[in-house]
Amino acid sequence: MQRIVDWPARMKEVADFVGLDQAELDVIESTRDLVSARGEEITAAVYDHFLKFPETRRFFLEAGGEVDEQKLDRRKHSLLRWLTGSIGFKIDQDYPIRLLATGIVHSHPPSHRAHLGSIPSRFMVGSMSYIQTELARIFQEEIEDPREVMRASVAWNKLMMVQLDILQAGYINETPTEADGETPAAPNE
């Protein structure tokens, strides 16, 4: 019998486990203007980073091997929407389902890019780390009190780990590619 997951309860459990409480959500809220003002810089840095590595760059290339700038712009916009949407984080019936859907989209390629396979989950984890580091750098540059820098960084780190748990749940069935050192299964295998 298949188990049904109560995603909001799971998210609350992980939030409790990592210690993400209302005080830290208030700290995240206090960074709204700063994160919003620097959001495009953060998303550009993330995608510039992706383009440095063949394993992630391949997801943003046209058939001729050039970077698909329109696709890249759409992805940056999506990441920015997620980042700024994270500021108003709350555990409700919809938020974890949106995160789960994002994880599923990353792990189950649409037919037009099925030949690329899933975006490997290790890059989702690495992306979260990269974003955490970018946020910490920005907090250090913009916030004068080192204690407030630490509080903001810790609060965002906890929030991102809560989100990562749900995002990763969509990766139950990654499809391997030859780039991962594995040969994808042929249809009907």
pLDDT tens figures, 129-159: 999 999 999 999 999 999 999 999 999 999 9
pLDDT tens figures, 31-86: 999 999 999 999 999 999 999 999 999 999 988 999 999 999 999 999 999 999 99
3-state secondary structure of 139: helix
H/E segment holding residue 136: helix 121-142
Q: Where does residue 185 rank: exposed (0-12), middle (13-18), buried (19+ CB within 10 A)?
A: exposed
The 3-class SS string of 19-77 reads CCCHHHHHHHHHCHHHHHHHHHHHHHHHHHHHHCCHHHHHHHECCCCCECHHHHHHHHH
- Flag whether 3 is in a domain: no
- Flag whether 17 is in a domain: no
- pTM here is 0.85
- Flag whether 182 is in a domain: no
Which CATH number covers residue 147? 1.10.490.10
- Flag whether 138 is in a domain: yes
Separation CA 40–CA 75 (nearest Å)? 12
The boundaries of the domain holding residue 140 are 24-175
Separation CA 53–CA 77 (nearest Å)? 21
